[in-house]
Amino acid sequence: MKSRGYTYSGIQVLKDNIVIDGAHHSLNTQDSGNIGIDLSERTNVMVKNLIIRGFKQGIFLEASSGNIIIRNEIIGFKGDGPYGVPTGIWVSLSNNNRIESNNVTSNIDFGILVQAGSANNIIADNTIMGNGVGLALDYCPNNILRNNRISGNEHNFKLGYNTFEQFIQDIDNSNTVEGKPVCYLIDHYNVTVPCDAGFVALGNCTNVTVEKLTISHGYDSITLINTNNSIITNNYIANCGNGIFLKYCQNITVTKNIARGNSNSGIGTIACDKIVIAENSIDQCNFGISPAGQTSYHSGGSGSTNMIIFRNNITNCNPGMYFSLSSNNLISQNLFKGNAYGVNLVASSANNFTENTFIGNSGGALRISDAYNNTFFHNNFVDNELDSQVLTQWYCVSAYETNTWDNGREGNYWSNFEDRYPNASEISGTKTWNTAFYIDDVNIDHYPLVNPHEICIDKPDSPLPLISPSPKQSSSKPPPTALVLVTVSATPIAIAGIGLIVYFRRRKH
């Protein structure tokens, strides 16, 4: 059967107000046919008790409403995958449908995909296993999820949104991922997320603590939008898309988390302000930390400002940090080791990089593109590839980007300095060389250090500006916004939090 340029191996439904009862019979294809059951532009059709096997899309709804898909088994094809988006149940531009009690397995891209503004659909009591993404709500608000069991997928639950309005869904903790409840909170304050949660989404929340979770195979595992004055700490997130993702958030502390093997970011932000990202361990992620205006998983926003990115270990990523459209941030005392490159700095300005260590990053310590007026001093550049260890004019730049590489007295340590300048000597009493280190004609470290910069911190008992929640209670009405000031400057660093002031002071040598 042919229609709309597609070839069907299954059934195209041309009438409204009918029931298709498969009575547990099978609808199969041997050639990865396009669509098993096509309900495009249909109303009030029920499809039940049918086994659908081997199609690119098992059941497809477009511009459809009032349909019921119930008690079906939908099994994707096996093999390398045909052209298209192999999906068990695909809902597009469709409202007020019910998808209930189906088993959806082995689809290469999506088990159930709801997208393109589809709203007020009920998705309940489904078992979704062994797919690329188990269940995806992609830029479509106001759907209802109940009692879905999502497990064993490459990424279990995907939530796509550009705006807070697209984020709004009715999802309760009867839904599970890998047997753990989903925690989906909107307009809550003064709460702690249950420590057994398998997915966390916070929208327009205040003073929330997310701690001691173990999450694997999520898409965005812990995702926040329009959320303020909250803490994400001591979580283990592995083999997900984004480990922790923040959008349009302020005054969030992200500390002491472990992110490993995530296909996009360990920690990502878009259009955030006054975020502290500190003492996290990030390994084998595509982007270790990504303060960016857009990522491969999210779009729609500017970069982030007034952040403190402090004392993180970032290893074996590509790159360790991706900075895009982000300004006025402090990046201090981080370790970038064994990454494809340490930091990719794009279209960002007025950032301060100090007391970081870059070791053995294969593409260089830094890649700089269209980024100006950033400051780098007291960093250690050790055995990174490239003669200068830094690559400027990396991408489509018509002129050199001018940045500052010293503080007027001391610059950075470069492990290959003596190889480049064998006749240089130390300026007596200064611990700096008498020869500048040239990155390019306008990026020059005038006071390169003779020895690695020693990073030594007087560390109080509570080294980070942790926000102590008030007594726990749920409410749809947020409390008055507390004032949190984060001052970004060279050492000493002052961080003023809610009722707490902490100073990081470097010892005098």
Q: What is the per-residue pLDDT across 351-371, written as a single tens digit (0 to 9) for each?
A: 999 999 999 999 999 999 889
Q: What is the pLDDT of residue 355?
A: 98
CA distances from 319 to 246, 293, 336, 479 (A): 19, 16, 9, 39
CB 244 within 8 A of CB 237: yes
Give the angle 176-181-183 at the CA atoms, nearest 5°.
120
Q: What is the pLDDT of residue 441?
A: 87
Q: What DSSP assignment string belongs to 29-94?
A: -SS--SEEEE-TT-BS-EEEEEEEES-SEEEEEES-BS-EEES-EEE---SS--SS--EEEEEES-
**Sheet-wide strand order for 258-260:** 214-216, 236-238, 258-260, 281-283, 313-315, 335-337, 357-359, 380-382, 413-414
Q: What is the pLDDT of residue 388?
A: 76
Taking the whole predicted model, whether its pTM rises above 0.75 is answered as: yes
Cis peptide before 319 (omega within 30 of 0): yes
Q: What is the enclosing helix (H) or strand (E) of 163?
A: none
What gap in Å lies between CA 198 and CA 218, rounded to an integer? 8
Q: What is the pLDDT of residue 390?
A: 87
Domain boundaries, the chain: 1-153
Q: What is the pLDDT of residue 266?
A: 96
Tens of pLDDT, residues 263-311: 999 999 999 999 999 999 999 999 999 998 545 444 456 789 999 999 9
Question: 1-153 belongs to which CATH class?
Answer: mainly beta
Q: What is the pLDDT of residue 102?
A: 98
Instruction: Pick out the chain residues at pLDDT < 50.
Output: 1-7, 294, 296-299, 394-398, 460-463, 465-509
Q: What is the pLDDT of residue 10?
A: 87
What gap in Å lies between CA 137 and CA 395, rounded to an integer? 34
CA distances from 2 to 6, 109, 128 (A): 6, 24, 30
Amino acid at site 321: M
